[in-house]
Amino acid sequence: MNQRRFHFNGKSWLLGQKTYIMGILNVTPDSFSDGGQYNDLGQALMRAEHLIESGADMIDIGGESTRPGHTPVAMEEEWARLAPVIRELKHRWPEMPISIDTQKAGIAARAVAEGADVINDIQGGMADPQMMATVAASQAGYILMYNRSAAFAPGKVDVEEMATTLRSQVARAQSEKLVTDRILVDPGLGFAYGVEDNWTVLQNMGKFVGIGSGLLLGPSRKRFLGVVTGRSEKDRDWATAGVASIAVGFGMDVVRVHDVLGVRQAVLAADRWWRHDR
């Protein structure tokens, strides 16, 4: 049986044996659930330490909010937010993989030069035509997200169209010499979806399995969970853990979340059920 691996910056994750957890560290003033909490370097490092102690397998650092209605940030401002955090995390926890959440190839190039391991691109290469080539020229991994607004896909979600678009984006990445085993695909929950569309995507996640090396999901605290629970953004972590545990059975390899400790417990149980020989 062929083993799937996600390769990034000289490291690799064996997929299919466990669920990996990416902990979110937003160094922004306006992210939807934690904006302004970690702008200070000291606060950001405390947050990183908490994520690591809670069991994160990777830390995803964002310097520009991507919430609905966000204000775009100039490259130099985004880099000023990210650079000190990347450098200090690499100094303090050199073995902890770091992902950078950015749409800009210029930021990606600077980040990998500072030791970042993965580039998490919510536009899947559509915002910056140099992004895929930039990542390919490094050894970094790439998270390629399907973004409905970028794909100009109004109306009810069409999972077949999503899968076709993701395959096309991966093929484009391959044409830039970015090999598949360095790519995770992300169906982009919450990005220009109607509330019910998110559930449709979750129920059909199997259609995205095998497009990249693995499948990443980012359900954390999103609005579709608030509609179900009636809870505000900061009070949706239990619902996030519930979705994460269910998604393990539909082919999810990596989950990107705010509450690493709670989700870790949920996916440990889900891994025991879905990934253990029965």
Which listed residue (256, 264, 275, 278) is catalytic? 256
**Whether the Cβ atoms of residue 184 and residue 143 lie closer than 8 Å to each other:** yes
Q: Verify whether residue 234 is a known catalytic residue.
A: no
Selected catalytic residue, list 222, 236, 272, 275: 222
Distance (Å, whole) CA 60 – CA 66 = 14
Secondary structure of the chain as H, E, C letters: CCCCEEEECCEEEECCCCCEEEEEEECCCCCCCCCCCCCCHHHHHHHHHHHHHHCCCEEEEECCCCCCCCCCCCHHHHHHHHHHHHHHHHHHCCCCCEEEECCCHHHHHHHHHCCCCEEEECCCCCCCCCHHHHHHCCCCEEEEECCHHHHCCCCCCCHHHHHHHHHHHHHHHHHCCCCHHHEEEECCCCCCCCHHHHHHHHHCHHHHCCCCCEEEECCCCCHHHHHHHCCCHHHCHHHHHHHHHHHHCCCCCEEEECCHHHHHHHHHHHHHHHCCCC
Decide if 256 is catalytic: yes
Structure tokens at 120: 């998490």
* Cα distance between residue 82 and residue 58, in whole Å: 16
Quote the radius of gyration of the chain (alpha carbons, Å): 17
Query: Which residues are known catalytic residues?
Result: 222, 256
